[in-house]
Amino acid sequence: MENQTNSKSFIVNNGLILGVASIILSLVMFATGNHLDPHWSTSVVSAALFIGLIIYGTKQFKAANGGFMSWGQGVKIGVGIAILAGLIVVVYNYIFMNFIEPDFMNQMMEIQNQKFLDQGMTEEQIEAANEMGKSFQSPGIMAAMGIIGYAIGGFIVAAITSAIMKKSEEETY
């Protein structure tokens, strides 16, 4: 593979598209008032965007690389797309929770507490759950968890996609 294509442009282009598409989906949910308790279909759309753009970026790279791609190259592209999108979404979430909707976490906690009550939890159990949840609400922890979540999801999708799509020059002879 002497004439290898640079993977950075595929990572950046598709990572930006995924990040911006995720933000647009979040803004639509906010504008329609569904951001606190979204319908399950929102998760399906979000997952389809995530999986689709990782597969699309990997296919683009393989096509630009003369139809060849190793498993490692595919994983690198998929994880790169996911991490870049994760960084963009983390920055957006920080802006959203601190400037656009500063009371978002309190509203989410109220909705979750009502769900706990509906499930039959006691006030003490709910308070304990709230205390544990507050420990994960610092911006640094939320950012790290977001980026790690995107990276793990990207690895899973990219590993499967790359295993299916890999093709080396040696396989053609």
Inside any domain, residue 101: yes
pLDDT score for 131? 87
Which tokens belong to 102? 């500063």
pLDDT score for 1? 41
Looking at 65-138, list the stretches that DSSP marks H as alpha helix, in order from N- to C-terminal side: 71-95, 104-118, 123-134
Instruction: Name which of 167, 151, 3 is nearest 71 in CA terms.
Output: 167
Inside any domain, residue 49: yes
Inside any domain, residue 61: yes
pLDDT score for 4? 62
pLDDT score for 132? 87
| pTM for this model (two decimals) | 0.89
Inside any domain, residue 44: yes
pLDDT score for 173? 58
Q: What is the mean pLDDT of each run of 10 residues along the chain (173 residues)?
A: 74 98 96 92 97 98 94 97 98 95 90 91 89 85 95 98 90 62
Cα 61-66-67 angle, rounded to 5 deg: 70
Inside any domain, residue 2: no
Q: How far apart are CA 105 and CA 111, in angstroms?
A: 10
pLDDT score for 8? 95
pLDDT score for 139? 87
Structural domain span for residue 80: 8-168
Q: Are 14 and 56 in contact (CB under 8 A)?
A: yes
Structure letter (DSSP) for residue 161 = H
pLDDT score for 2? 44
User: Could you give the number of structural domains in the chain?
Assistant: 1
